[in-house]
Amino acid sequence: MKKVVALFVSRWLLAGVLSGSLAVGLPTSCRGADPVVAAASFCCDVTPPLGHPLCGGWIRPLEAVDEPDKAHLLSYRDPKGLEHPISRPGAWAKRRAHILANMQSVMGPLPAASRQVPLDMRVESEERLPRFTRRNITFLTEAGDRLPAYLLIPNGLKAKAPAMLCLHQTIPIGKAEPAGLGGSGNLRYAQELAERGYVTLAPDYPNFGDYKLDVYARGYASATMKGIWNHRRAVDLLQSLPQVAPRRIGVIGHSLGGHNALFAAAFDPRIKAVVTSCGFTSFFAYHGGDLTGWSHSGYMPRIATAYGNDPGQMPFDFSEVLAAVAPRPVFINAPLRDSNFAVAGVKDCVLAARPVYSLLGAADRLVALYPDCGHDFPPEIRQAAYVWLDHCLK
């Protein structure tokens, strides 16, 4: 298997493309702000100013703007409903702002910075293993809300290391699975990345693992937005650690964690690389267009109450979420036999987002692999993702 992965990666590095069922591209420059990125102000290393139009709108979104065409993204509508083509990087900021506003119309607004409190990280227990130390920690995301997480720190670090936020799938044990304490051996990416020299942080999503919380009693319109806020605070925590290189932070997740990884990156430009495994398909391709699975209290109830579980009424789709992350690199694992997230819809989203990456001078930063398996993150694809992350963050 190691030889197969080595050959796979070598050909990828040399050619940037593989034939057959795997369609890939490799970032040529994954960190630092190239001229296109700098001009567009998409690549921020610190929390952007409140209301910054390009880096997320951290205090309140712009008014939602109906952008009905989610397959052709290089245009935007003005307040009068007139459509304007996008032909230069700076103009993309307008459509991106509309995407983030439309996402918040479904998820609820991202809280204002005034909701932040000191992190007050506490180490509840610690286990030293041969290659890393695993700490069971908690930290404050906001007043009265202490988030449990596993923090894995490689042993013997001699310099600041890159870091990865590791988001779990839908599984009762939550954070324990990526941290290597149960669940699937294919989803222990926090452990595996720590063994490669990354500082990794695996938090619980609301009502998984040790984290029981009524997000609606706290004023959130969705568990999704609470997750985004918590993951933003997780990046704050990583940046605060003396072991972490604060400008080399990425996110990885499978299934629930796969789409949460994209959502986190869309709203936090400090995240410099994304690995999303089995995390999305277009809303039209999801279970024949029935969005019931997206609209329960663990996700976004407004999908049902405001948009009738109808993809045709949804103000955003995953083509736009991918594009909102551009030009930062994204690695997608989309198995051909994933029964939850249909691969045809994934390919549609990638096809729609790719022109945005090209406009921003980052055509090779959107990578998609389509292994012949079910809803899983198989070893050879994880290894390819890890090599790709090394290129991006090390």
Read off the pLDDT of each residue in 312-326 and give the average, rounded to a whole number.
Answer: 97
pLDDT of 379 > 70? The answer is: yes
Tell the burial category of 159 from Cβ atoms under 10 Å away from its Cβ (0-12, 13-18, 19+): exposed
pLDDT for 50 equals: 32
Surface-to-core class of residue 59, CB atoms within 10 Å of its CB (0-12 exposed, 13-18 middle, 19+ buried): middle
Question: Dihedral of CA 205/323/328/2: which sign?
Answer: positive
Q: What is the distance between the alpha carbons of residues 178 and 152, in angstroms, rounded to a whole number?
A: 11
User: 64-78, 139-153, 249-263, 374-388: which range is least confident on average?
Assistant: 64-78
Task: Name the pLDDT band for 164 (thresholds 50, 70, 90).
Answer: very high
**Mean pLDDT computed over every residue of the chain:** 88
Q: So what's the pLDDT on residue 61?
A: 54
**If you ran DSSP here, which 8-state letter would residue 184 be given?**
-
**pLDDT tens for residues 47-102?**
433 333 333 333 455 667 778 789 999 999 998 889 999 999 999 999 999 999 99
What band does 31 get if pLDDT is binned at 50, 70 and 90? very low
Strand-strand pairing, 161-167 and 199-203: parallel
DSSP track, 120-134: --EEEEEEE-SSEEE
Residue 79 has which token pair? Answer: 């307040």
pLDDT value at 18 more than 60: no
Cβ proximity of 103 and 318 under 8 Å: no
The structure's pTM equals: 0.88
Q: Which residue has the higher pLDDT, 38 or 272?
A: 272
Which strands form 366-369's sheet, in the order they lie side by side? 122-128, 132-142, 145-154, 199-203, 161-167, 244-254, 271-277, 330-333, 366-369
Q: In terms of pLDDT, which residue wins out, 60 or 122?
A: 122
Residue 9: both structure tokens together: 């990666």
pLDDT band with cut points at 50, 70 and 90 for residue 38: very low
Residue 257 sits at φ, ψ, to 5 deg, of -70, -25
- Residue 197 CB neighbours (<10 A): 15
The pLDDT assigned to 68 comes to 77
pLDDT > 70? residue 24: no
pLDDT in tens, 228-258: 999 999 999 999 999 999 999 999 999 999 9
Chain Cα centroid distance, residue 295: 20
